[in-house]
Chain A
Amino acid sequence: MAVDEAIAEQVRKNKVSPTIRFYKWAPSAVSIGYFQSLQDEVNLAKCKELGIDYVRRRTGGGAVYHDNKGEITYSVIAPERLFPKGIRESYRVICQWIIDGLGLLGIGAEFMPINDLVVHGKKISGNAQTRRDGVLTQHGTILYDLDVRTMFSVLKVSNEKISDKMIKSVEERVTRVLNYKSVSQDDLYNALLEGFTRGKEFSFDSLTRSEDIDARRLAKEVYRSEAWNAMR
């Protein structure tokens, strides 16, 4: 989260190019949406017991369990003007890159407004976007594998949401790459990389010194602080 914000700041200052990141969470972690209550969404005692981290995002949306081995996360950080003005339309643009990537693996995903991707009606990717000072940040996750037991133990899943959709269990509404194709995580990464970068000029790079310094500062001052994480 801190890295995304640090990059956004450098994009705002025009110091770095529009940036696409792929990453994993180490240790595994729960992220909650900006408007969610930490206490209501996350089983903090269980997180502590299992060594699972938690953080509030600066984007809206729902709580997500990011398994270290079970997903690939991405961020797109770019000037707002490069994307459609409407938030719903810009979700569609970036989500199409994921669809293209999964398509390369022979997995047919569809965009499910507002911010999900589904395969045969089951969610395979969740995404969240914010815009600040002319910079768009969208991050999201693509499920590769699913540790349902751990996910259930750290997330306080709302009964209302489940009954609303008339579903019995998370396995009936969430899916993963491995359900469709026996590929490695590297294969998934390479397919997503192609989907995200096709037709674009790009180069590989690591964080600039300023981004690194800002990210460390933001992690300490904001994203690791109780003031932020327990804000709501």
Chain B
Amino acid sequence: MPGGKLLSIKLSYGSKIEKIQILGDFFLYPENKITEIEKALLDTPITESEDDVAARVKKAVNDNNIELVGITPEAIASVIKMAVVQRPGG
């Protein structure tokens, strides 16, 4: 990430995301609201486009008045898609 931040995603999935954790050394305020972003990503079909995944994150960010510093919804979506592509079938 710009600013040297690391972002990693732990996923388990079948045809949809079943479990997800967003990890890293970024900043997000208020901190405990990260679970709202994770919740918003549950049940996302793994075939969903990167833009649509980013849109889910953005909605959760806006709905919960979350401020992201050092990460972006697009980066979260991109890492999720990479994770799914790299490990087909979970």
Which residues of A approach B to under 8 Å, CB–CB? 33-37, 40, 58-63, 87-88, 113-115, 128-132, 158, 160-161, 164-165, 232
Which residues of B approach A to under 8 Å, CB–CB? 3-6, 8, 10, 21-31, 34, 67, 69-70
- Please state if A232 and B21 are interface contacts (CB–CB under 8 Å): yes
- Please state if B4 and A164 are interface contacts (CB–CB under 8 Å): yes
B30: which A residues are within 8 A, CB to CB?
130-132
Query: A87-B67, A232-B23 in contact; A130/B6 too (CB < 8 A)?
Result: no
Partner of A130, one of B4, B10, B29: B29
- Please state if B27 and A61 are interface contacts (CB–CB under 8 Å): yes
- Please state if A87 and B29 are interface contacts (CB–CB under 8 Å): yes
Q: How far apart are A159's CB and chain B's nearest CB, in angstroms?
A: 11
CA gap between A63 and B34 in the complex, in Å: 18
A88: which B residues are within 8 A, CB to CB?
69
Closest 5 A/B residue pairs (Cβ): A62-B25, A60-B27, A34-B31, A114-B3, A37-B23
B25: which A residues are within 8 A, CB to CB?
33, 35-36, 60-63
Q: How far apart are A116's CB and chain B's nearest CB, in angstroms?
A: 8
Query: A63-B25, A114-B70 in contact; A161/B3 too (CB < 8 A)?
Result: no
Q: How far apart are A180's CB and chain B's nearest CB, in angstroms?
A: 23
CA gap between A114 and B26 in the complex, in Å: 10
B23: which A residues are within 8 A, CB to CB?
35-37, 40, 232
CA gap between A143 and B27 in the complex, in Å: 22
- Please state if A60 and B4 are interface contacts (CB–CB under 8 Å): no
A165: which B residues are within 8 A, CB to CB?
4
Most chain B beta carbons < 10 A, residue from A33, A35, A40, A115:
A35
CA gap between A165 and B30 in the complex, in Å: 29
- Please state if B6 and A114 are interface contacts (CB–CB under 8 Å): no
B6: which A residues are within 8 A, CB to CB?
62, 158, 160-161
Query: A35-B34, A88-B69, A232-B21 in contact; A60/B3 too (CB < 8 A)?
Result: no
